[in-house]
């Protein structure tokens, strides 16, 4: 298993720069970088920065929220964005693309949203294959998220046979047992995100309701209630040797401190597994 920088984790914090991110990734001896959009830099410039630090771009993450819409006409802008994103991945040298499957704010039907995403994904699957780029979605959090559980992904995979998964352990755990979830989709996992949540049974300000009926708040990896060790054990048993993004959405630590703590924790539990 290899650890990768997720640009989103640092870009949320003040003072973010791409040169600073690559320098930190190199200093932490990470194995690659997942670019979550381009931050107004040309793709070729980012690829050069990565090469200058001897770091591969292991994934490119971008958004095509229009896939959640109900009609082909409404989804078409998402199709156009996705094709452009795949072209960008080729420029970056990224072998994997990931489209976060966020539901619309007014969504109250996860299956309908998933069906819409499937229709959008069907429109771009061949384009990704021709570009030799692996097309993925992730487990996404929320009551009405179209993709939380393994079965949610497998329903899409049945309709889009080339679709793969970026397995997000924190988000998968909001719908089912995280180790069982990974095991069920292991043959289709092309990339992974690790994150953590604090969990409580009752509603409170600042806590998000999730599919399992409980309430979640972002935490640093290793400081929340997600079973990170069980995830690593399931991955090791399945022979997973690809990349794991380090994701942090909380505000208790600076980006630098969050990365250093999470990297140390993950290296420790991976070595022990």
| CATH number of the structural domain spanning residue 185 | 3.20.20.150
- Determine the straight-line distance between the first and last CA of the chain, rounded to whole angstroms: 11
User: Which two structure tokens, joined as six digits, stand for 45?
Assistant: 């410039």
Distance CA 196, CA 2 (A): 18
User: Which two structure tokens, joined as six digits, stand for 215?
Assistant: 């309430």
Q: How would you classify the pairing of strands 208-209 and 215-219?
A: antiparallel
Using pLDDT thresholds of 50, 70 and 90, give the confidence band for residue 13. Answer: confident
- The mean per-residue pLDDT over the stretch 37-46 comes to 98
- The mean per-residue pLDDT over the stretch 133-153 comes to 99
Distance CA 256, CA 265 (A): 14
The per-residue pLDDT for 101 is 98
Closest CA to 16 of 28, 25, 8, 5: 8
Using pLDDT thresholds of 50, 70 and 90, give the confidence band for residue 188. Answer: very high
| Average pLDDT across the chain, whole number | 98
- The mean per-residue pLDDT over the stretch 219-246 comes to 98
User: Which pLDDT tens digit goes with each residue over 79-92?
Assistant: 999 999 999 999 99
Q: Buried b vs exposed e over 125-135: b needs ≥16 C-beta within 10 Å?
A: beebeebebbb
- The mean per-residue pLDDT over the stretch 189-214 comes to 98
Q: How many domains does the chain have?
A: 1
DSSP string spanning 130-163?
HTT-EEEEE---STT-S--SHHHHHHHHHHSTT-
Which structural domain range is residue 254 located in?
Answer: 2-272
User: Which pLDDT tens digit goes with each residue over 121-139?
Assistant: 999 999 999 999 999 999 9
DSSP string spanning the chain?
-EEEEEHHHHHTSTT--HHHHHHHHHHTT-SEEEEES-TT--HHHHHHHHHHTT--EEEEE---GGGGSSSHHHHHHHHHHHHHHHHHHHHHT-SEEE---PPPTT---HHHHHHHHHHHHHHHHHHHHHTT-EEEEE---STT-S--SHHHHHHHHHHSTT-EEEEEHHHHTTTS-HHHHHHHHGGGEEEEEE-EEEEESS--TT-EE-TTS-EEEEE-TTSSSS-HHHHHHHHHHHT--SEEEE----SSS-HHHHHHHHHHHHHHHHHH-
Quote the DSSP letter at residue 224. S
Distance CA 89, CA 221 (A): 28
DSSP string spanning 86-134?
HHHHHHHT-SEEE---PPPTT---HHHHHHHHHHHHHHHHHHHHHTT-E
């Amino acid at each position: 298993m290899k650890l990768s920088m997720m640009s989103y984790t640092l870009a949320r914090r003040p003072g973010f720069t791409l040169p600073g991110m690559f320098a930190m990734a190199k200093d932490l001896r990470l194995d690659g970088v997942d670019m979550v959009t381009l931050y107004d830099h040309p793709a070729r410039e980012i690829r050069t920065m990565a090469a200058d630090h001897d770091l591969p771009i292991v994934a490119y993450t971008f958004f095509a929220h229009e896939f959640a819409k109900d009609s082909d006409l409404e989804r078409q802008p998402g199709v156009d964005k996705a094709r452009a994103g795949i072209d960008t991945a080729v420029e970056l040298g990224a072998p994997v693309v990931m489209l976060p499957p966020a539901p619309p704010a007014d969504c109250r039907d996860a299956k309908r949203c998933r069906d819409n995403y499937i229709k959008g994904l069907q429109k771009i699957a061949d384009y990704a294959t021709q570009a030799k780029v692996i097309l993925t979605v992730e487990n996404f959090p929320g009551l009405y998220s179209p993709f939380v559980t393994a079965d949610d992904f497998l329903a899409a995979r049945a309709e889009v046979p080339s679709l793969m998964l970026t397995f997000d352990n924190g988000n998968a755990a909001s719908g089912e047992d995280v180790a069982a979830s990974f095991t069920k989709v292991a043959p289709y996992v092309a990339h992974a995100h690790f994150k953590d949540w604090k969990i409580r049974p009752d509603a409170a300000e600042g806590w998000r309701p999730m599919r399992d009926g409980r309430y979640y708040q972002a935490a640093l990896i290793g400081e929340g209630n997600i079973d990170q060790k069980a995830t690593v054990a399931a991955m090791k048993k399945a022979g997973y040797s690809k990349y794991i993004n380090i994701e942090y959405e909380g505000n208790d630590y600076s980006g630098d401190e969050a990365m250093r703590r999470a990297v140390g924790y993950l290296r420790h539990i991976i070595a022990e597994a």
